[in-house]
A and B are shown apart, each in its own frame.
Chain A
Amino acid sequence: DTAVSQTPKYLVTQMGNDKSIKCEQNLGHDTMYWYKQDSKKFLKIMFSYNNKELIINETVPNRFSPKSPDKAHLNLHINSLELGDSAVYFCASSPGVEFGELFFGEGSRLTVL
């Protein structure tokens, strides 16, 4: 029974395409996150939602649009993919915004050709 699950695990696509990554958590947590980890392994916060409300929106291009239909789901849509978008994208959740113990999904490795 996976706590935080994200799909797909791998995406290989051409520049200019649009892609989505889905994330679901069954932990009953209020807060969900999207992180990007590039080839240098640096983990960078992109977005954070608390009870479906956006609370962190770091400086990411407008091509990235998160959507949280309910507090158990946080999806990420990326338009007009660029080479620099190639990375591993991690979804994570925590009981609330003040909790730093995050539970991560397995990651989605995006390769843009």
Chain B
Amino acid sequence: GQNIDQPTEMTATEGAIVQINCTYQTSGFNGLFWYQQHAGEAPTFLSYNVLDGLEEKGRFSSFLSRSKGYSYLLLKELQMKDSASYLCAVSDSNYQLIWGAGTKLIIKP
């Protein structure tokens, strides 16, 4: 079966760095996506990785290792507004998105 695993919840301090991991087992691979979802709101797209390596976008970076079935989202200089759920999703061989259950990130002052 297809499976995406990510931690349920993480806590970090304002101004610090946090890494949210995602491991996956899917039928084929056409890219990995990270989305951010604030409480009571819709998910919004953060990043896309299809080749191995690091993609940087401001304070957020996303890393992919296809051979290990592994990705992480790195958030630097954490701000209170970064408190949200972070969803990992993989596009399989049919271009269907397989979603993880999300990681709830709590930022403390």
Residues of A within 8 A of B (CB): 40-45, 48, 56, 90, 97-98, 100-107
Contact = CB atoms under 8 A, between A and B. Distances in A.
Contacts of B44: 104
B6 to A, nearest CB: 12
Contacts of B31: 100
Contacts, number: 48
Contacts of B12: none
Nearest to A101: B45
Residue of B41, B42, B101 with most partner-chain A CB within 10 A? B42
B42 A45 contact: no
Contacts of A56: 96
Interface in B18-43: 30-31, 33, 37, 41-43
B60 to A, nearest CB: 15
Contacts of A107: 41-42
Q: Residue among B43, B99, B102 with the most chain A CB within 10 A?
A: B43
Contact of A102 (B30, B41, B97): B97
A104 B91 contact: no
A89 to B, nearest CB: 11
Interface of B is mostly: strand
Interface residues of B, number: 21
Contacts of A45: 96-97, 99
B78 interface: no
Nearest to A104: B42
Nearest to A102: B45
Interface string B71-98: 0000000000000010101010001110
8 smallest beta-carbon distances between A and B, as pairs:
A104-B42, A100-B91, A98-B95, A43-B99, A101-B45, A100-B33, A42-B101, A97-B95
A107 B38 CA distance: 13
Contact of A100 (B30, B101, B102, B104): B30
A98 B42 CA distance: 21
Contact of A106 (B41, B97, B101): B41
B48 interface: yes
